[in-house]
Structure 1
Amino acid sequence: MNLAAVSAALTAGPEAGEDRSRRWIASSTAGVVLVVLGLGSAAFGTLVTAASRAAFLGISPALWALVAGLVVRAALDLGRRRPQVGG
């Protein structure tokens, strides 16, 4: 399920207010907040890993931060992949 589509439907519908000419404000705000939160969570996870100064298995925190960033990116991309039909 794509949460962006659900929030877009809620912020563009009657729940966003009676004045249809001003519903764009809720939709735009929701879009910006979703982008900022998505980028922020990935950056935060990578930053915390890099700042931890903990070297596990003799590997530096910088490399673990890179791995953490790649894991977050793979997790975010996982929801976008669609199975190919008939192939």
Structure 2
Amino acid sequence: MTSIAGTLHWIPMEAHGPTAPFLYKRICAFAYVGSDLQTESAILVEGLEPGKETCAVEAHWVDGYPELAASQGDVVTLIAAHRPIATIEVGSVRAAA
């Protein structure tokens, strides 16, 4: 399983992001990498800081779903209800041992 470390940015409500602050330390959502809207997978993101708009996170693709290729510098976009809710700027990628 590949692990992704990076910086998560919630999309502001004014830009059609979440309408309420996220209050949990992790989220599982569908996501895509870069501009490839046609290829989605499920990702688990941990390390969220409730109430903060930006935070350092660790994420990995959920078993049973495709593992998408992501590299340092890529942007992973989390979606809910068919719209983007957050992005992760990929800082590093570690392959499973």
Q: Give the TM-score normalised by the residue count of structure 1.
A: 0.22
Instruction: Identify the structure with the greater strand proportion.
Output: 2
Q: Give the TM-score normalised by the residue count of structure 2.
A: 0.21
* Structure with more relative contact order (C-alpha pairs < 8 Å, separation 6 or more): 2
Instruction: Identify the structure with the greater helix proportion.
Output: 1
